[in-house]
Amino acid sequence: MDEALLKAAGQHLKAAQSVLVMSHVRADGDAVGSLLGMGMALRLAGKGVQMLLVDGVPQNFKHLPGSEQVQKKIKQPFDFSIMLDSSDVNRVGSIFPNGVTPDLNIDHHITNLNFAKINLVDVKAVATAAMLAEFLPPWGYSITPAIADVLLTGMITDTLGFRTQNMTSQALHLAASLVEKGAKLPEMYYHALVQRTFEAARFWGFGLVDLQREDRIIWTTLTQPARQQVGYPGGDDADLVNFLASIKDVDVFLVFVEQPQGSIKVSWRSQPGINVSKVALDFGGGGHVNAAGADIKGLLNEIQEKVLQATRALLNGYA
């Protein structure tokens, strides 16, 4: 990370009085953890803070400290805006004014478009929460036990429990430092990766029954009727794609999730060495080399055909 850029970001933050902090739609653990960590640290320093998620905090992260403070809409004026864990300005949804350039972009996705006035993008970082664990102390912000909990949650979820290919000794040291600051590793791990609701388990059932395979690709679909039948409240796949990624002798894993607004959320996972973010980017999405996603407008059958065709072409390039 450019030290001059990092210092400039810290100076701008210090000067700000009212800060808007946002993260992406259908927030995952890194989005929620980063948002809460940044927001609580700024608030502890005496700044006015609005923390925004257009979909609100998912049920499985409502145990985190500060989650009750997250809003869905801007309610007060702000003089500084931060987007976290978002590869482009549209990823936060409709909560940010059109045509306004965010002040600060902190992210680790390889597809980040560097859309803000100041862009702190580190594609080698295991999570945006890990970046904040590193940045906050030099910027002069305290990491309390509550802030340590939420940042550790972000790291746990984005590394699938410290087992993704980008894990490093530095990341493990950062996680250890958060535990030293009071983070409850066993509890945060359990909530983030082990525990799930009855409704989520039933939702998985529909996806597992519909599981299909073609050579080196596995995919399934989660429909709106299935979601309604089981009463699953989220717009995501209940983390099913990460479970599918444990299946042997497969290179790429896909889940297609119908959305109520007439679009399809597509999630890719892949074995090391296969860059699925390239395909996601072609469909207006983005993400990591081995974990990416896109929201695509259109009919399910047509989108599945196009996405599978593009994914096959990607795999042929690695044959």
Q: 131 pLDDT exceeds 80?
A: yes
Band the pLDDT of 137: cuts 50, 70, 90.
very high
- Say whether both 84 and 220 belong to one domain: no
C-alpha to C-alpha distances, 257 to 57, 60, 93, 229, nearest whole angstrom: 19, 19, 18, 15
Return the SS3 of 248: coil
Q: 265 pLDDT exceeds 60?
A: yes
pLDDT at 319: 55
* % the chain with pLDDT above 90: 92
- Say whether both 219 and 243 belong to one domain: yes
- Say whether both 70 and 16 belong to one domain: yes
pLDDT tens, position by position, 222-264: 999 999 999 999 889 999 999 999 999 999 999 999 998 889 9
For the segment 62-77, the average pLDDT, to the nearest whole number, is: 96
Q: Which of 280, 220, 279, 277 is nearest to 250 (CA)?
A: 220
Q: What is the pTM of this model?
A: 0.91
Task: Give the whole-angstrom CA distance, residue 38 versus residue 41.
Answer: 5
* Enclosing domain of residue 202: 198-318
pLDDT at 1: 76
Which has the higher per-residue pLDDT, 267 or 97? 267
Instruction: Tally DSSP H helices, then E strands, for the chain.
Output: 11, 11
Residues paired with residue 214 on neighbouring β-strands, in sequence order: 217
Domain count, the chain: 2
Task: Give the whole-angstrom CA distance, residue 206 versus residue 258.
Answer: 13
| Residue 74, token pair as written in the block | 């801007």
Task: Give kind and range of the element (H or E) at residue 293.
Answer: strand 291-297
For the segment 43-67, the average pLDDT, to the nearest whole number, is: 96
Read off the amino acid at residue 78.
Answer: F
- Say whether both 152 and 205 belong to one domain: no
- Say whether both 252 and 131 belong to one domain: no
